[in-house]
Amino acid sequence: MKPAELREIDRPWRIWASIIIVSILAFSVVFGFLILPIVQGRAAGLDAFTAICRAVGILPGSPAVRQPTSEAKAQPTTQVAWSTDLIRSLGQSTPAGAEVAQACVACHGERGIAADPQNPNLAGQSGVAIYKQLHDYKSGSRVHEVMNGIAQGLDGRQIIDVAAHFAASPRRDLDPTTAEVVDEDIVRLVERGDPARGLPACNSCHGFNAGGPMETPTLSHQNREYLARQLHAFRSDGRRNDIYTRMRSVAAKLTDREIDKLANFYATTLSY
Partner 1 sequence: MTHARRLTLAHLWVAFAAFAIAAVLGVWQMWARSPLPAPYLTAQAYFTSVTAHGVSMAYVLTTFMVMGFGYYVAETTLGRPLPYPRLAWLGFALGILGTLMAAATIFAGNATVLFTFYPPLTASPFFYIGLVLVVVGSWIWCGLMIVAMLDFKRVNPGTPVPLAMFATVANAVMWLWTTVGVAAELLFQVIPAAFGWNEAIDVGLSRTLFSWTLHAIVYFWLIPAYIAFYTMAPQAAGGRLYSDTMGRLTFILFLIYSLPVGMHHLFMDPQQSSAFKFLQMSFTALVAAPTLLTVFTISASMEIAGRLRGGKGYFGWIAALPWDRPMVLATGMAFFMLWFGGGGGLINMSFGMNAMVHNTSWVTAHFHLIFGGTVVIMYFAIAYAIWPTLTGRQPASLRHQRLQLWLWFIGMMVMTLPWHYLGLQGQWRRVATFNYADPVIAGWGPWVIVSFAGGIILLASALLFVWNLLEFHRDRAVVAPEHPPIYALAVHPPNRVPAALNGFALWNVLVLVLMIAAYGYPIAQFFIIDAPEAIVHRVTGGG
Residues 4-33 that bind partner 1 (CB under 8 A): 6-7, 9-10, 12-14, 17-18, 21-22, 24-25, 27-29, 31-33
Total length of the chain: 272
Least spacing, CB of residue 123 vs partner 1, in Å: 16
Give yes or no for residue 44 binding partner 1 (CB under 8 A): no
Helices (H), the chain: 3-29, 36-43, 48-56, 84-90, 95-100, 105-108, 127-139, 147-152, 156-168, 184-191, 203-206, 224-235, 246-251, 256-268
Give yes or no for residue 181 binding partner 1 (CB under 8 A): no
Give yes or no for residue 204 binding partner 1 (CB under 8 A): yes
Distance, in Å, from the CA atom of 25 to the CA atom of 101, rounded to the nearest integer, reads 65
Answer for which of 4, 72, 181, 196 binds partner 1 (CB under 8 A) is: 196
- 98 burial (CB, 10 Å; 0-12 / 13-18 / 19+) is middle
Closest CA to 110 of 170, 43, 183: 170
Least spacing, CB of residue 271 vs partner 1, in Å: 10
- Torsion angle of alpha carbons 131, 137, 142, 144, nearest 10°? 130
Least spacing, CB of residue 29 vs partner 1, in Å: 7
Each as own residue / partner, the long-range contacts of residues 216-219 (CB below 8 Å, 24 or more positions apart, any chain) are 216/126, 216/129, 217/125, 217/126, 217/129, 217/133, 218/124, 218/125, 218/126, 218/129, 219/266, 219/272
Answer for which of 145, 209, 244, 255 binds partner 1 (CB under 8 A) is: 209
Number of residues that bind partner 1 (CB under 8 A): 52
Give yes or no for residue 238 binding partner 1 (CB under 8 A): no
Least spacing, CB of residue 17 vs partner 1, in Å: 6
Asked if 121 and 109 touch (Cβ cutoff 8 Å), the reply is yes
Q: Which stretch binds partner 1 (CB under 8 A): 55-63, 114-122, 134-142, 157-165?
A: 55-63
Give yes or no for residue 270 binding partner 1 (CB under 8 A): no
Give yes or no for residue 68 binding partner 1 (CB under 8 A): no
Least spacing, CB of residue 173 vs partner 1, in Å: 17
| Residue 52: strand, helix, or coil | helix
Give yes or no for residue 211 binding partner 1 (CB under 8 A): yes
Residues 148-177 that bind partner 1 (CB under 8 A): none
Please say which residue, 22 or 115, places its beta carbon nearer to partner 1.
22
Answer for which of 50, 62, 92, 94 binds partner 1 (CB under 8 A) is: 62
Helices (H), 30-94: 36-43, 48-56, 84-90
Residues 88-117 that bind partner 1 (CB under 8 A): 88
CA 45 to chain centre: 38
Residues that bind partner 1 (CB under 8 A): 1, 6-7, 9-10, 12-14, 17-18, 21-22, 24-25, 27-29, 31-33, 36-37, 52, 54-57, 62-64, 82-84, 87-88, 191-193, 195-198, 200-201, 203-204, 207-211, 214
